[in-house]
Amino acid sequence: MILPALLLIPFLYIILAILIKSKKVKTWLSFAFSLINLGFAIWVMAQVFEAGMIKTQMGSWPAPFGITLVADRFSAFMLLVSALVFAVVTLYSIQSVDTARIKNGYFLFAHGILMGVNGSFLAGDLFNLYVWFEVMLMGSFILISFGGERAQLEGAIKYLILNLISSFFFVAGIGILYGKMGTLNMADLSQKIAQSGDVLSQLSPAMVLIVVGFAIKGALFPFFFWLPASYHTPPPAVTALFAGLLTKVGIYSLIRIYTLFLYHSTSFWNPVVLWIGILSMVIGVFSASSQYDFRKILSFHIISQLGYVVIGLAFYTVAGLAAAIFFLGHNMISKTNAFLVAGWVHRERQTLNLKVLGDMFKKNTLWGVLFFISAFSLAGLPPLSGFIGKYLVIKAGIESGHINVALVALFVGFFTLFSMVKIWIEVFWKNTPPEVEAPVNTKPLPHGLMISASIILALAIVGMGVFAGPVVNFCEMAASDLLNTELYINFVLK
């Protein structure tokens, strides 16, 4: 019964946040609830580590009739990493987000996102997955427009309309799928597709609609345009939360339906997914190198890095999927931390334009080191987590015979390094350009909570790199569970 708790904890906070008036109580309660959520995620992880999978049938209706919540190793890993990212961003937000936003319920909507994310990772039913997507999107719609600055409203309109269209794709796919198969439980669907042989060719329209829906949510190649147009507009803490959680849910769902349904016709889907991945990697990294805004560079890199996860999926071997899972976890942590540093720079200098920034390393060495760790983890330098992630993806590519893809991945890694070095030199290393006026407030603003939040994530990055062995083993077990579809079907249905 611990799976519903992961949905109830954020929901309980939302109710309390409406009832409680005091800003201070609301703020610290939010942090406490994020820690409770982290505790439960660890508990789920411990149980899954023992048992392999756990499930809850809501209302005791047996699958496939009721709503099933199910956590396998992959879900538990994602739940744990997202709970960690959420707790850290909450701690960071306490100091970073302005008072007016916190007073008007910043944490309430953040917990709405957490509820949607947790639900998506646990959903065992396609329509349920859609509902959790909407819960998550509703929270994110409000957070992205929260405060109502002009740039934010522009970004919000683009984000909103493109994400709604992706939901329509997804729901239309669900409708057609239900009409053909008469069920929406993912395990039941997978079983029925496997039993009925060539029915998958009839299901292709539904599957294409669903994959396009996920690709828009996950910001993959031809569908990513909403992401760089909107992610740099809200307060930095919001961007960090979005970068850590939102697109990753789309990719999680893609991996889930790929391993349950799409693997029946790999001859069609494998090349499609592989090309989506390659083009996301290459286009993302090239677009990033031409940008001159701290957060825009990082936003384009989200697209590029998700490409690595998708090519890991397209190899469709245990090693490839394990690499994809590891990379997803690494990317959530490193990317969030890079945005947290961007938030500090924004707080000190009120701008993130690389051309007018400079001298930040002199201003605070520790923040410089924190940026160094997360940026060079993204670029894939040892001994950080990104090195292990990229190594696993490239190794899996070579082993499965995709040597050209592995070479492209290496090549993209080089350009990632270029962008990160660019930010490092422009923001932290060079002197502030003489024509820019010196910042008015020379006294450093308080940033104790912000820096401790960032330190936690930096330690996680280093930890994931240095002690990669157990994590990689776990990812390999998760990957072989995913490939063994029978295991999932039997567990959910019996």
Partner 1 sequence: MELIFAIFIGLLYACGVFLLLRRSIVKVILGVFVLGNATNLIIFLAGGIKRSGAAFIPEGAETIDPAVISDPLPQALILTAIVIGLGIAAYILALKYRYFEETGTHDLDQLSKTDRK
Residues contributing to the site for partner 1 (CB under 8 A): 127, 131, 134, 138, 141-142, 145, 148, 150-151, 153-158, 160-161, 164-165, 168, 171-172, 174-176, 178-179, 184, 228-230, 232-233, 290-293, 296
Ramachandran angles phi, psi of 288, nearest 5°: -65, -40
Q: What residues contact 36, with CB distance under 8 A and at least 6 apart?
A: 9
Q: Output 154 or 399, the one with its CB closest to partner 1.
A: 154
CB 370 within 8 A of CB 458: yes
Q: Output 296 or 390, the one with its CB closest to partner 1.
A: 296
Return d(Cα 343, Cα 409) in angstroms, integer: 29
CA-nearest of 387, 365, 366 to 376 is 387
CB 122 within 8 A of CB 75: yes
DSSP code for 263: G
Question: Please, what is the minimum distance in Å from the beta carbon of residue 126 to partner 1?
Answer: 10
Question: Please, what is the minimum distance in Å from the beta carbon of residue 134 to partner 1?
Answer: 5
Question: Please, what is the minimum distance in Å from the beta carbon of residue 167 to partner 1?
Answer: 8
Question: Please, what is the minimum distance in Å from the beta carbon of residue 392 to partner 1?
Answer: 34
Question: Please, what is the minimum distance in Å from the beta carbon of residue 116 to partner 1?
Answer: 12
Question: Please, what is the minimum distance in Å from the beta carbon of residue 229 to partner 1?
Answer: 5
DSSP code for 68: E
Q: Output 158 or 395, the one with its CB closest to partner 1.
A: 158
Q: Going along 197-287, which residue ranges are E strands?
A: none
**Beta-carbon neighbour count of residue 493 at 10 Å?**
15
Rounded to the nearest angstrom, the gap between the alpha carbon of residue 157 and the centroid of all alpha carbons in its chain is: 21
Place of tokens 């996102």: 113
CB 292 within 8 A of CB 355: yes
